[in-house]
Amino acid sequence: MSMYTVLTILISISALFGYVNNRFLKMPFVIGLFFLATSTAILVLCIKYWYPQPYIDLKEIVVQSNISKFILNIMLGFLLFAGALQTNWLNFKQYLKQITIFALIGVLISTVIIAVLFFGFCNIFNLNVEFIYCLLFGALISPTDPIAVLGILTKAKVSKRVETIIIGESLFNDGVGVVVFVVLLEVLLTGNTNVNFGTVSLLFLKEAVGGIVFGLVAGLLLHHIVKTIDDYETEVLLTIAFVMAGYSICQYLHLSGALAMVVMGLLFGNYKKESTMSIKSKEYVTKFWQMVDIILYAILFILIALVLLVMDLQVSYIFLGLCSIVIVLFSRVVVVYLPMLVINKIIKINNKEAKIIVWGGLRGGLSLALVLSLPPSYAQNILLIATYICVLFSIIVQGLTIEGLAKKMR
């Protein structure tokens, strides 16, 4: 099946689900699409015992399409740039301390907590999963996903302060989580479990700091180029080119493309924006990237629901996945409340805000893309099921109840 045919099917299904959701379910866009896509995948799984051909055909498409690479190598750069471009730096800057603590230290602490607890539950269920895989699970599930957060929080009517902290954290901890995951994956693939702290730190710094510096340079360059013209068609094309070329260069140089796109989007969208583009150009560029966001959101949540079709479901794996929900929520509580207890003079977050930040830490497509990028194995299948269950709970349960919690806290 050609790429064009696959995209045609995905867009058509997305449009159909979007209509059904808007007309009948009335859920937030992201939640509605994911709910309908997951329900369809479960239906296909159920009818395979009586009529297996649709399941066989769909599973073959999912396996051949390499969803992980499509999300990580193509979609992620666009989505992060689009999200950062629409983020107000003046609001963002006020809460930079909180965002930095949650996005950097929080991801590292959460990775370790989840790895240790997940390893313990694997032993309880007599599942032979090496600790390196548990660390990888911690790294891929710790970041709150900007794709899910941006699509849900903006409609949940949480306070602007809390919304800015959660969105800012999700934009950056996404990049940090990917860097940690890449470092751990390299340890797994090389088989060198005796890698010292210095080597890991240097690799982490190269990926993270290199990505941030690249994003700054690319953002400034894009700003100065766009400033010399006044033609919205060309300006839109320039932003597309910088995202595609910039993300590809980061991958080639082994820098964090995720962090680069966030920094580039923030800088281009906020640095001297009054003098960069005319009002007409700014409107076209903004509207274009908003539409990119919506279309890619739709495709993404159809894709991650299809992941159900390639899982080897067993009762013990499902129970471990359910336990993983508790593990992930516990780690989120520690990440939010520990700084409150230790350095609350710096982060200045009260108990009501902390509850919303804990519950608003949604997981999404990025986690599934990362787990799918692991080499096929017994452990990868277990991690895939645990990740999917955590994402399903996060988007459906947390996503649907965050607005109610925000109202209660008000």
- Answer yes or no: are the C-beta atoms of 356 and 158 closer than 8 Å: yes
Q: What is residue 148's predicted lDDT score, i.e. its pLDDT?
A: 66
C-alpha 182/C-alpha 383 separation (Å) is 16
- Answer yes or no: are the C-beta atoms of 36 and 17 closer than 8 Å: yes
Residue where the block lists tokens 């299809």: 306
Q: Which two tokens stand for residue 188?
A: 């797994």
Q: Which two tokens stand for residue 232?
A: 């919205």
Rounded average pLDDT over 222-245: 95
Q: What is residue 72's predicted lDDT score, i.e. its pLDDT?
A: 86
C-alpha 369/C-alpha 404 separation (Å) is 30
- Answer yes or no: are the C-beta atoms of 383 and 130 closer than 8 Å: no
Q: Which pLDDT band holds residue 1 (cuts at 50, 70, 90)?
A: low
> Is the pLDDT confidence value at 290 over 60?
yes
> Is the pLDDT confidence value at 192 over 70?
no
Q: What is residue 196's predicted lDDT score, i.e. its pLDDT?
A: 62
Rounded to 5 degrees, φ, ψ at 144 are -75, 135
Buried b (16+ CB within 10 A) or exposed e, 214-253: bbbebbeebbeebeeeeebeebbebbeebbeebbeebeee
Rounded average pLDDT over 396-407: 88
- Residue 350, SS3? coil
Comparing CA positions, the residue from 374, 291, 312 lying closest to residue 69 is: 374
Residues in the chain: 410
Q: What is residue 388's predicted lDDT score, i.e. its pLDDT?
A: 93
C-alpha 151/C-alpha 37 separation (Å) is 16
Q: What is residue 325's predicted lDDT score, i.e. its pLDDT?
A: 97
Output DSSP code: residue 265: H
> Is the pLDDT confidence value at 339 over 70?
yes
Rounded average pLDDT over 214-231: 94
Residue where the block lists tokens 């479960």: 42
Rounded average pLDDT over 110-139: 95
Q: What is the pLDDT of residues 23-79, one digit of tens each?
A: 999 888 888 888 998 998 888 888 888 888 878 877 877 777 778 888 888 888 998
Q: Which pLDDT band holds residue 111 (cuts at 50, 70, 90)?
A: very high
Q: What is residue 30's predicted lDDT score, i.e. its pLDDT?
A: 80
Q: What is the pLDDT of residues 170-187, one digit of tens each?
A: 888 888 888 889 888 888
Q: What is residue 117's predicted lDDT score, i.e. its pLDDT?
A: 97
Q: What is the pLDDT of residues 73-110, one digit of tens each?
A: 888 899 889 988 988 888 788 899 999 999 999 999 99
Q: What is residue 119's predicted lDDT score, i.e. its pLDDT?
A: 96
Query: Going by C-beta distance under 8 Å and a sequence separation of 6 or more, which residues neighbour residue 259?
Result: 172, 175, 176, 179, 208, 211, 212, 215
- Answer yes or no: are the C-beta atoms of 357 and 337 closer than 8 Å: no
Comparing CA positions, the residue from 35, 266, 27 lying closest to residue 155 is: 27
Rounded average pLDDT over 216-231: 94
Q: Which residue has the higher pLDDT, 293 or 350?
A: 350
Neighbours of 382 (CB within 10 A): 27
Q: Which two tokens stand for residue 38?
A: 């997951």
Rounded average pLDDT over 281-289: 92
> Is the pLDDT confidence value at 403 over 90?
no
Task: Give percent of the chain with pLDDT exceeding 70.
Answer: 95
pTM: 0.89
Half-sphere exposure of 85 (CA within 13 A, CB side): 26
Q: What is residue 194's predicted lDDT score, i.e. its pLDDT?
A: 57
Rounded average pLDDT over 280-296: 90
